[in-house]
Amino acid sequence: MDIRNLTALELGKKIKTGEIGVVEATKAALEQIQAVDETVNAFVTVDEAGALRRAEEVQKQIDEGSLTGALAGVPAAIKDNLCTKDLLTTCSSKILYNFKPTYTAEAVRNLERAGAVLLGKTNMDEFAMGSTTETSAFGVTRNPWNTAHVPGGSSGGSCAAVAANECFYALGSDTGGSIRQPSSFCGVTGIKPTYGTVSRYGLIAYGSSLDQIGPVAKDVSDCAAVLEAISSYDRKDSTSLKREDCDFTSALVDDVQGMRIGIPRDYLGEGLDEEVKAAVLAAAKALAAKGAVVEEFDLSLVEYAIPAYYVIAAAEASSNLARFDGVKYGYRTEEYEGLHNMYKKSRSEGFGEEVKRRIMLGSFVLSSGYYDAYYLKALRTKALIKQAFDEAFEKYDVILGPAAPTTAPKLGESLSDPLKMYLGDIYTISVNLAGLPGMTVPCGKDSKGLPIGLQMIGDCFQEKKMIRAGYSFECTRKYEAPELAERRGK
Amino acid sequence: MSKQYETVIGLEVHVELATKTKIFCSCSTAFGGAPNTHTCPVCTGMPGSLPVLNKQVVEYALAVGLAANCQIHQYCKFDRKNYFYPDNPQNYQISQLYLPICHDGGIEIETAEGKKTVRIHEIHMEEDAGKLIHDEWEDCSLVDYNRSGVPLIEIVSEPDMRSAEEVIAYLEKLRMMIQYLGASDCKLQEGSMRADVNLSVREVGTEAFGTRTEMKNLNSFRAITHAIEGEKNRQIDLLESGEQVVQETRRWDDTKGASYAMRSKEDAQDYRYFPDPDLTPVVISDEWIQEIRDRQPEMREEKQERYQKEYGIPAYDAGILTSAKRMADMFEETTALCKSPKKVSNWLMVETMRLLKEHGMDAEDIRFSPENLAKLIGLTEAGTINNTVAKEVFEFVFDKDIDPEQYVEEKGLKMVGDEGALRGTIEEIVAANPQSVADYKGGKQKAIGFLVGQTMKAMKGKADPGVVNKILKEILDK
């Protein structure tokens, strides 16, 4: 048995029985990071000393019986837009290159309460803006399945780290598909829960009304367990919801008998790669074979999701990112004359291209004279999209489709044409606009050997149906790790 | 000046609310802590922090809105006002633009011209900014975020005022109302009440408004009056000389008695307001409004009436006693302790007002306790001290809130009413002033006053004047 190949829950069980020690598991993950991260670059910061110290503490608490959860002692990685007290938190941006938060994000604290050992912080698109993890100021992350390809984004570091066995699970954030799309590209499982399920306190905001934190792991069971651990009502987040139904692991049942599953015809049309389409339809067939009622239907307004999303997310981002000004923390330009010049130079030098593009776009759509035409119209579109989903969920328990139109593109292929890159978010974005839960489960590989992800979408608060469908599908196949994850030593 | 001009004034009044904690976090609002000690990730704009609304802010805003006869937006929202400045840690201020909590109200004011209503356009809630400290010595600027996130309401009037007198009447009415509600102490000097004056002039009889300017940095009623006069004259002079008024923000310098342009409309920023996605809409139920209404305290007019009825205080006196919430509270609390409303009223209206004026203080600055004033009144009623001594002791009560009973005891200020103890002193005084004795005997009754005065002086003010008079007459009429 190689520790690194275990799922989070499998490891948790072995730690509980004493078969594997927490320090041993942590060392195994750190060794794997040593072995492969020079190639993958999934991490911005690896906190080796902190992780080992914490591992000993956790082991002690497990031995004493004060930590008994299923994830106690399991090493994890955290996306670098989640604040971790005294540990570098950069959002993969030069403007926060030296930023150490004074507090820890609520979702991370929840993980710590569950006994997690934090290995470090994972790479991402700068401020979560991008679909490839190429806009990071700290270098691109490579896809563990083929290092000439991107891992997707923006949670590319978290997904690549899980796929490459560098951690047993990770946290990501999803504003327009940033967990689901890289999960698809990296052949791992990821969940974006219903808006308000996980506290956003300590998540460095991109698009506040769309951002949600979620788990990335090797399988649905791990994701359900991690989501259960991080979900909580938090008084510090006004958009946090009081939910009594966060026992997501109770939905890990291999049974879709009679479950109504809808596939939007709009998700199978133009722009969708044939191999991806075939894999998704095969997955649908597998579910139908287990007794689910699968049919295609028309989900309207799909084409409006992308423009509405880029208006709303950019508008919120333009305001959310205003605080990075060189005054209080982070990067400040070396030479400047007066306040205005300091702002201008610090921000021009500190932010990357894509971030600046979205700040400008957001500032434009909020400016007087354009607010009604763009921002308000986008909000109305958002409401209509939610309505379209409401109608669909009157008929279906779960909506099924691809997570992305293609498998992972090659490095450097996407950034030159941002509009084309934005179109890649077409299947994931409307889920954020409607506040719904969404999940990606691996469902095959294309002819290049790159993973394909199946997306499941649930109605608000119906994660359990989605998890049940995902788990049932997962039971029809076996988890596959990339060759790189099996590489040992240098 | 050939033409007749009319001044048109509207006010934007910022009031710092008296909540214990800030509007979006649980940091203290206390004034004067060491820099950046009343702060947390939220009010310093740390990445990832989120605002959570303080319910008390909504309740105070509602209370003021209801007292000012406003309509309530029962579904109201917070918006972000985006602008870069280091005193504002997020580089946006959370305020209300699209759906302010209160709108379309008005309050009645009274001036020499009579009564009129000043309409209120809206009242909205927002957060205060931090404070910049410019260190000339080090050539740098520092920022203190203790004030960042202190709750404010902004009360925006319609352009309904026509003179400085009306403006002051409006502000005094507003201040009194808010103080009575306990929503703020409304101190202009300390900045817990700040007024920006929007002013334009137009020829009498014209409908259209002239171009207006906005005047900032007005820290007292005096400054407001001066600024209005100054700005009115400046605008009229411009128009008279064929020039135009420029729409701009001006800063009033009260020591120089002049204003300076800060920024013109052309430099006006686009604040890119939009609803704050971190805050959920505030939904105000009918029940909540009723609850606030039921909790509204007794306002000035009601108190005035009750003081006359319940305590037999004359109307004029009741007016003065209720002119500040603190004064009315002192009156009621002291009266409850010593049961002598007229005496309490007298101490507050005469000695307290005199000392406040002497020290340049407001009623809100009163530091002494009702207990000690009541004790002082008790001492005079019991004949333990006379009025002269009482006034002296009161100065210490006023200043340091001393316990008058203890003080009188320690300093030996008790009135001497013992005839045996006084007779010797009086006999000495009579012997030393034969002229006054002769005057008295010659029919000048007034001469006895001089002898009483001399006796009091010799007794260091502690003699019982009644007893002194009695003994003197006995000796002189012999």
Q: What is the mean pLDDT of residues B88-115?
A: 96
Mean pLDDT of the A60-77 span = 97
Structural domain contains residue A126? yes
Q: Cβ–Cβ of A319/B280 closer than 8 Å?
A: no
Which residues 444-473 of chain A have a CB within 8 Å of chain B?
A: none
Q: Of A92, A93, A131, A154, which residue is the catalytic one? A: A154
Is it the case that residue B249 has pLDDT exceeding 60?
yes
Instruction: Please report whether residue A353 resides in a domain.
Output: no
Q: How does strand A260-264 pair with strand A398-402? A: parallel
pLDDT at residue number B469: 83
pLDDT at A490 over 60: no
Q: Residue A160 belongs to a domain with what CATH number?
A: 3.90.1300.10
Single out the catalytic residue among A158, A178, A232, A430: A178
* N-to-C CA span, chain A: 20
Q: Does B244 touch chain A (CB under 8 A)?
A: no
Interface A:B, Cβ pairs < 8 A: 96
Total number of domains constituting chain A: 1
- Tell whether A375 lies on the interface with B, counting CB pairs under 8 A: yes
Q: How close B246 gets to chain A, by Cα (Å)?
A: 22
Tens digits of residue pLDDT in B310-334? 999 999 999 999 988 899 999 999 9
Q: Given a cut of 90, is residue A424 above it in pLDDT?
A: no
Q: Which residues numbered 6-65 in B keep a CB inside 8 Å of some CB on A?
A: 41, 44-53
Q: Taking all residues of chain B, what is their mean pLDDT, rounded to a whole number?
A: 92
Q: Summarize the confidence of residues B83-95 as an average pLDDT.
A: 96
- At B381-410, the pLDDT tens digits run 988 888 888 999 999 999 999 999 999 888
pLDDT at A417: 81
**A480 located within any domain:** no
* Residue of A209, A237, A316 lying closest to B50 (CB–CB): A237
User: Is the Cβ pair A375, B274 closer than 8 Å?
Assistant: yes
Indicate the helix (H) or strand (E) that contains A158. helix A156-163
Q: Is residue A475 part of a domain?
A: no
Residue A337 lies in a domain: no
Sign for the CA dihedral angle at A184, A189, A194, A197 comes to negative
Q: What is the mean pLDDT of residues B332-337?
A: 95
Q: Is-catalytic flag, A79? A: yes
Starting at the edge strand found earlier in the chain, the sheet holding B193-203 runs: B71-72, B102-111, B114-127, B151-157, B5-16, B193-203, B213-216, B248-253, B258-264
Q: Cβ contacts (< 8 Å) between B58 and chain A: which residues?
A: none
State the nearest Cα–Cα gap between A204 and chain B, in angstroms. Answer: 4
Q: What mean pLDDT, rounded, does chain A reach? A: 96
ipTM score above 0.90: yes
- Collapse the DSSP code of A29 into the 3-class scheme (helix H, G, I; strand E, B; otherwise coil) and give the result: helix
On whether any CB of chain A is under 8 Å from the CB of B81, the answer is: no
- Per-residue model confidence (pLDDT) at position B266: 65
Quote the pLDDT of residue B423.
83
A176: in domain: yes
8 Å CB contact of B272 and A82: no
B88 — pLDDT class (breaks 50, 70, 90) = very high
Q: What pLDDT score does A315 carry?
A: 98
Paired tokens of A165: 């066995």
Answer whether residue A459 shows pLDDT above 80.
Answer: yes
C-beta of residue A230 within 8 angstroms of C-beta of residue A263? no
| pLDDT band (50, 70, 90) for residue B93 | very high
| Residue among A302, A316, A377 at smallest CA distance from A128 | A316
Confidence of residue B1 (pLDDT cuts 50, 70, 90): low
B380: left (phi over 0), alpha (psi -120 to 50) or beta: alpha
User: Is residue A154 among the annotated active site residues?
Assistant: yes
Return the higher-pLDDT residue of A424 and A343. A343
Instruction: Supply the DSSP string of A305-372, one letter for each residue.
Output: HHHHHHHHHHHHHHHHGGG-SSSSSS---SS-SHHHHHHHHHHHHHS-HHHHHHHHHHHHHHSTTTII
- Residues of A whose CB is below 8 A from B92: 319, 322
In a domain, A332, yes or no: no
* DSSP-derived secondary structure letter, A249: G
Domain ranges in chain B?
5-287, 298-411, 419-476
- Those of residues 270-329 in A touching chain B at CB distance below 8 A are 315-316, 318-319, 322-325, 327-329
Tell whether B278 is within 8 A of chain A (Cβ): yes
Domain containing residue A150: 3-255
Q: Residue A348 catalytic? A: no
pLDDT at residue A287 tops 70: yes
- Is A379 a member of any domain? no
User: Which position among A79, A192, A218, A382 bears the catalytic label?
Assistant: A79
The 10s digit of each residue's pLDDT in A187-237 is: 999 999 999 999 999 999 999 999 999 999 999 999 999 999 999 999 999
Query: pLDDT for B146-194, tens place per residue?
Result: 999 999 999 999 999 999 999 999 999 999 999 999 999 998 888 899 9
Residues 6 or more apart in contact with residue B70 via CB below 8 angstroms: B102, B103, B104, B105, B120, B122, B123
User: Tokens 């507050």, residue?
Assistant: B348
Asked if A485 and A3 count as a contact pair (C-beta separation under 8 A), the reply is no
Residue A489's pLDDT is what? Answer: 59
Nearest to A322 among B52, B86, B91 (CB): B91
Residue of B nearest to A105 (CA): B48
Q: Indicate which of A328, A336, A374 best probes the interface with B, i.e. most B CBs within 10 Å of its own CB.
A: A328
Does the structure show a pLDDT above 70 at B115? yes
Whether B48 sits inside 8 A of A102 (CB atoms) is no
Cβ separation B46–A367 shorter than 8 A: no
Residues from chain B that touch A102, judged by Cβ atoms under 8 A, are: 41, 46
pLDDT-wise least confident of A309-318, B381-390, B457-466? B457-466
Mutate to test the interface with A, among B85, B94, B132, B274 (most CBs of A within 10 A): B274
Three-state SS sequence of chain B: CCCCEEEEEEEEEEEECCCCECCCCCCECCCCCCCCCCCCCCCCCCCCCCCCCCHHHHHHHHHHHHHCCCEECCEECCEEEECCCCCCCCCEEEECCCCCCEEEEEEEEEECCEEEEEEEEEEEEEECCCEEEEECCCCEEEEECCCCCCEEEEEEECCCECCHHHHHHHHHHHHHHHHHHCCCCCCCCCCCEEEEEEEEEEECCCCCCCCCEEEECCCCHHHHHHHHHHHHHHHHHHHHCCCCCCCEEEEEECCCCEEEEEEEHHHCCCCCCEECCCCCCEECCHHHHHHHHHHCCCCHHHHHHHHHHHHCCCHHHHHHHCCCHHHHHHHHHHHHHHCCHHHHHHHHHHHHHHHHHHHCCCHHHCCCCHHHHHHHHHHHHCCCCCHHHHHHHHHHHHHHCCCHHHHHHHHCCCCECCHHHHHHHHHHHHHHCHHHHHHHHCCCCCHHHHHHHHHHHHCCCCECHHHHHHHHHHHHCC
Of A81, A238, A371, the CB nearest to B50: A238
To the question of domain B419-476 being in CATH 1.10.10.410, the answer is yes
